Amino acid sequence: MIANQNLKHYQSQVKEELEKMDGELIIKHYPTKSVSVMGLRSHVEKCIMQDKKPDVIIVDYADLLKGHGQEKRHELEGIYEDLRGMAGEYDIPVWTASQANRSSLEEDVIDASKVSEDYSKVMTADFVMSVSRKVEDKIANTGRVHVIKNRFGIDGITFPAEINTNTGNIQVYESSTQGGKSAQGKMDNSEEYLRQTLSKKYNDLKPKTDGFE
């Protein structure tokens, strides 16, 4: 896989791979706090009129949409309710991301109480999951995916994952699979894995000298 920072050197290869994929990706950019959910509705309407109804809408990210209300929590509550209403009206899934608060930085599992700003985000959504990564996870390329809420199935379960942000590769495993056991093993022995990784990096960077002149 190609690291994100090196993609600019492989533009032709990336273009070839994208042309092999089915479907179409439409990216619409708005400056921060310049568009409301009503503005998103307008863009979706134009896509539908052009016979390009989206299969899924990804909002990056809802907290930066333009809302209404004097208090932050009321503004966010309205934004998330409007997004849910838009999803139901057009029968299109809408996904977005939100941050956790500072107290979750070293948590093994991020639950609903750790969602930043306003709990109404969780109350409004149909499906909520969290991704937790401690310092050791960032070095080992691991993490935990926890299902906080699920209106359509079970919740409260946690899956081990391999997460490489350098290449954008994310693999979520059942705990009983070989991949899941491997990821869980790295997390269970995080301190030893961290020590070995740092030791290897030190040896790779350490000047190799055979003697003095």
Q: What is the pLDDT of residues 61-101, one digit of tens each?
A: 899 999 987 788 889 999 999 999 999 999 999 999 999 88
Burial of 91 (0-12, 13-18, 19+ CB in 10 A): exposed
pLDDT of residue 210: 53
- On whether the CB atoms of residues 165 and 140 are closer than 8 A, the answer is no
Q: Which helix (H) or strand (E) holds 198?
A: helix 190-205
Average pLDDT over residues 191-203: 73
pLDDT-derived band at 201 (thresholds 50, 70, 90) equals confident
Write down the pLDDT at residue 12: 92
pLDDT tier, 213 (very low <50, low <70, confident <90, very high otherwise): very low
| Cβ atoms of 65 and 34 closer than 8 Å | no
Q: What is the pTM of this model?
A: 0.82
CB 79 within 8 A of CB 115: no
Mean pLDDT of 153-157: 94
Distances (CA, A) of 41 to 53, 62, 68, 90, 166: 12, 14, 16, 9, 33
More confident residue, 25 or 93: 93
Q: How large a percentage of the chain has pLDDT more than 70?
A: 94
What is the average per-residue pLDDT within 131-154? 92
